[in-house]
Structure 1
């Protein structure tokens, strides 16, 4: 028998605020029993379940694990703009001429995550086998 990933747990200062942000990012929702001020918040989305836990420490180093997002119904650049409007910040831009590359953003508390090209964008530049 093997294990499965139940959810990814992310330390935060404000679990509910982080959860609300990521629920918007993933098109998911916060668990019905999550409210502002709770020490934990669970985001339930089709693509992943994230658990935010309030801790006293501040993030000080680069993440050892991060989330890579692939837009489903828009381009990478459109998704980057949507996430910036939600409060994310551009951290490093690895997008290259011709549409290759990715953008690294940070969430409301400075956790890095990447936005890759959509499947349609990949197919257009890599062909049917890539």
Structure 2
């Protein structure tokens, strides 16, 4: 059997707070909570979740890996506003202002993007 993606791991200073932010952002829930890790996902049977692990060192540079989120065109601005209300902030990673995505950072500074909706192909 080939390997499969199991979790995306995000380093965190405040595991419960960051897990709560991402749970609310994605409309997911906490699947397991231990002293040194919290896992969130859409449900227990989901093939992939996000695992938060503790770190003590501060984040200093732009992430080398980030998440891209999408929504419908009608909901995009409302979803960006919702994410900002949850604790995200706008982030500048050198974008020109002409991009079709918006760069945000979670409460601990991890960048992510809200991209234009996927186009559905009609065959």
Q: How many residue pairs align between the two structures?
A: 117
CA RMSD of aligned residues (A): 2.5
* Structure 2 alignment gaps of length 5 or more: none
- Name the counterpart of 1:41: 38
Report the TM-score when normalising by structure 2. 0.82
Report the TM-score when normalising by structure 1. 0.78
SS at match of 2:25: helix
2:116 is the counterpart of 1:117: yes
Comparing both structures, which one devotes a greater share of its residues to helix? 1
- Name the counterpart of 2:77: 77
1:94–1:101 Cα contact (<8 Å) kept: no
Comparing both structures, which one devotes a greater share of its residues to strand? 2
State how far apart, in whole Å, the 1-side matches of 2:10 and 2:33 are. Answer: 16
Runs (4+) off by over 3 Å: 92-96
State how far apart, in whole Å, the 1-side matches of 2:60 and 2:72 are. Answer: 32
